[in-house]
Amino acid sequence: MSPNLVLVIVVGVLFAAGVYLLLERSLTRVLVGVILIGNGVNTLFLVASGPAGRAPIVGLNDVDDMSDPLPQALVLTAIVITLGVTAFLLAMAYRAWQLNGHDEVQDDVEDASIRRRAERDEVSSSYDDSAGGTMDEEGSDETAGEGEPAAVGTEEERP
Amino acid sequence: MNASVLVPLPVVLPLFGAGLALALGRSARAQRVVSVVVLTLVVGIAAVLLARADADGPQVMHVGGWPAPLGISLVADRLSALMLLVSVVVALCVLLYSLSQGLVEYGPDTPLSIYHPTFLILVAGVSNAFLSGDLFNLYVGFEILLAASYVLLTLGGTADRIRAGSTYVVVSLASSIVFLTALALVYAATGTVSLAQLAGRLDDLPSGVALLLQLMLLTAFAIKAAVFPLSAWLPDSYPTAPAPVTAVFAGLLTKVGVYAIIRTQTLLFPDSPLSDLLLWAALLTMVIGILGAVAQDDLKRMLSFTLVSHIGYMVFGVALASDDGLSGAIYYVVHHIVIQTNLFLVAGLIERRGGSTSLERLGGLARLSPVLALLFFIPAMNLAGIPPFSGFLGKLGLMQAGVDNGSWLAYLLVAGSVATSLLTLYAMAKAWNRAFWQPPSPEAEAEAIATGATTDLHGKPVRTDAPPVSGKVAVALRAGMAGPAAVLLAVGVALTVFAGPLFGLTDRAAADLRERTPYIEAVLPGGAP
């Protein structure tokens, strides 16, 4: 089976543009990227189905001339799923815009808090500074931890 | 009676129930009845399917009467039926928990019109993924459960959930795209998407093409299962959802990914050249996940990291590609679904009782609520793998399989899994010490009361000025929330008590998977065309 070169190129272009948009921060652009890649995959299914033929209806056309109906059924399903996901993403982008004034995908809270701490040059809240002091003396580390369990909450030391 | 007519019901019934629940959206009571009845029925059906699949071999239903390579077939073999049973039992417990939570927070008459239908659709998607006999139907199952999970994760549309939801949705979409692309390539290469037929046809492909297909499918499933390099989305997105939603996601969604990895690795690519790669991924998932958990000071985030970490154990078992390894992995999946869901439900209870899940703020819960302490302690020790719990048995099975394998990499994995187990114990002990034993700091306590740190199902703060419910009702409602958690705890203990028969079942399931022929012959009785 020799695939249709035009279709293959179309698939490549759609994927390239889609991946580029998918890597953007704005949800709307991500959405456009998803739609482009979705169409790219659908076209890829058409390539996979082999050469185009006549309508695959038994009795209307000869079996040898028919195109393969299965990929078309798969593509139909995929289109419906993309439609639903598109609607949801649009709603979510709109909601993000309502809440934040923009629709950008935001950082992981962990990343954000680590960056804040790094800027202020402070240690993580799970780093237990009060229990022991030096990390290489493990024995004293443990006894200090057991002796004063309440010392873990170093609330007053934190700015 | 032929049990194969029951096979589509775990998919059809929840979908039907979802429609009915949506139509009954104005009557909260009717919605509750519909959801509980439907899920209870599905639990019964799944139990029958498991018994029949174990006794008579895989139960197959060709939907619409089209025979296998043409139509959609639904297959319940031992692995599918076992996964299905455990999943719906867990889903039912979570549903009951969320019912009581809704009742506690809103009183009997406020409908949650979206929650119930979406929850049922999620269950339908999970069932469809487990029962699916062809790769495309597996994709559809994934999409059903993902679409439902998008809605559940962003329930209420608060700023936090939209932030977490956008990461989750975009990552899930990326994995779906990879999966769909892989499907198109699989069809181009073999001309079929039926798993049973693919098993024969993939063997004839040039090894490079087969490797590409395998890599693409693995990537798609690994994102869903949160295997290490592709796991960063999970700990960020799960903790912001309402407690029951996080619990059901933690229990079911990643496990569907693990199931898909097990199914495709054993049925489609039995002599995988990627075993070493999978072993490395398993090692990194375990170690890096648990290091993340140790560093957390929020209980829900810590649990999300242990979830990622313990996925590594399952991948370890799959990558060993031996009967014992697979059997251990299947047992571990069952154990982990129950325990992880249980822990997240208890985290929800802690959030209600202590006003927060931050270990900085919590304290003294052991004195305040001994029942809660018990509910947390047993699953936490179970997760860490303390003998004699099921976590210990699962890890032991996997380590034995690793030692039997004998390569240096397998030994490294065994060492890694011991270290992970110890670090899990450390993380759980830290959570226990801080939340249950350490006296609460007075400032944190005052702050928690002042801000009303708990949020309800819609992300709004729970009203603390609400008229108090009369004593008896309040006790009954609190029991309604703690009850399902206690039931799951009992299931977890039962996994320990009945570990012998269960390991027997997983051994037989693993043998079926490795042999491949029972599955293929059940779907294609006349042999592959």
In a domain, B311, yes or no: yes
In a domain, B69, yes or no: no
Helix (H) or strand (E) holding B74: strand B73-76
Contacts of A106 in chain B (CB under 8 A): 163, 166-167
Interchain contact, B235 vs A84, CB within 8 Å:
no
Q: How high is the pLDDT of residue B332?
A: 92
Contacts of A70 in chain B (CB under 8 A): 187, 193
In a domain, B513, yes or no: yes
Domain that holds residue B405: 274-452+469-519
Reading the block at residue B305, the tokens are 């990291």
Q: How high is the pLDDT of residue A21?
A: 92
Q: Could you say which residues of chain B have pLDDT below 50?
A: 1, 107, 109-111, 448, 451-470
Closest to B328 in 3D by CA, of B498, B167, B503: B503
Q: How high is the pLDDT of residue B243?
A: 83
Q: How high is the pLDDT of residue B88?
A: 93
DSSP structural state of residue B497: H
For residues B344 and B247, the answer to whether their CB atoms sit within 8 Å is yes
The number of domains in chain B is 1
In a domain, B242, yes or no: no
Reading the block at residue A144, the tokens are 């200090």
In a domain, B358, yes or no: yes
In a domain, B250, yes or no: no
Angle between helices B499-515 and B390-405 (to 10 degrees): 40
How far does B290 lie from chain A, in Å, by closest CA? 15
Q: Tell me the ipTM for this assembly.
A: 0.82
Output the pTM of the full model: 0.86
Reading the block at residue B330, the tokens are 């299947």
Tens digits of per-residue pLDDT, A122-157? 776 656 555 544 444 444 444 433 434 444 433 443
Tens digits of per-residue pLDDT, B70-95? 778 888 888 999 999 999 999 999 98
The C-alpha atoms of residue B193 and residue B523 are separated, in whole angstroms, by 13
Contacts of B136 in chain A (CB under 8 A): 74, 77
Tens digits of per-residue pLDDT, B451-495? 444 444 444 444 444 444 445 555 665 677 788 888 888 888 888
Interchain contact, A45 vs B184, CB within 8 Å:
yes
Residue carrying structure tokens 């990537």: B219
Q: How high is the pLDDT of residue B218?
A: 92
The C-alpha atoms of residue B217 and residue B197 are separated, in whole angstroms, by 17
Tens digits of per-residue pLDDT, A40-88? 999 999 888 877 778 888 778 777 778 888 888 899 999 999 999 999 9
Angle between helices B115-131 and B9-23 (to 10 degrees): 170
Domain definitions of chain A by residue range: 5-100
φ, ψ of residue B170 in degrees (nearest 5): -65, -40
SS3 label, residue B455: strand
Q: Amino acid letter at B394?
A: G
DSSP structural state of residue A104: B
In a domain, B352, yes or no: yes
How many C-beta atoms lie closer than 10 Å to residue B449's C-beta?
A: 11
The C-alpha atoms of residue B423 and residue B468 are separated, in whole angstroms, by 42
Q: How high is the pLDDT of residue B477?
A: 59
H runs (alpha helix) in chain A: 5-22, 27-48, 69-100, 109-120, 138-147
**Quick check: A112 contacting B, CB < 8 Å?**
no
Q: How high is the pLDDT of residue B463?
A: 43
